[in-house]
Amino acid sequence: PGWLLTPPARPYLDSILHKNQRRVFGLLERPVLPPNLVVPIVTYKLFVTGKSGVGKTALVASLAGTPVSPGHHETLGIEATTVFWPAKPQGSARPVIFQLNFWD
């Protein structure tokens, strides 16, 4: 659970941060790692659905590290947001990077 706070996790965390803020990646971009630290990227597409005004877009924005709009505005169509998250599964010797494609 606390792997991200350990020194071996620092290069993976640095690959998704820019000036200690989560870097925003486009649909075709991914974190750059040195060749000796390349790990598998596991991709998930997450479709966020629910009633209007309950905070779906705010949830995705906070997970992506982007500013959350203080006022309510309706999302037109579908917004796609890509979030990368390094993790080391229990029982695994090497970390993986999860690519979470949120569709809101």
pLDDT of residue 95: 92
Q: Give the domain extent around 14.
A: 3-67+77-103
Q: Looking at the domain assignment, is residue 84 inside a domain?
A: yes
- Pairwise CA distance, residues 44 & 42, whole Å: 7
Q: Looking at the domain assignment, is residue 72 inside a domain?
A: no
**CA-based torsion, 34, 25, 100, 30: positive or negative:** negative
Total number of domains constituting the chain: 1
- Could you report the per-residue pLDDT of 37-81, keeping only the tens digit for each? 889 999 999 999 999 888 888 888 888 888 887 877 787 888 888
Burial class for 54, CB neighbours closer than 10 Å (0-12, 13-18, 19+)? exposed
CA nearest 49: which of 75, 68, 67, 84? 75
Q: Would the pTM of this model clear 0.85, i.e. be above it?
A: no
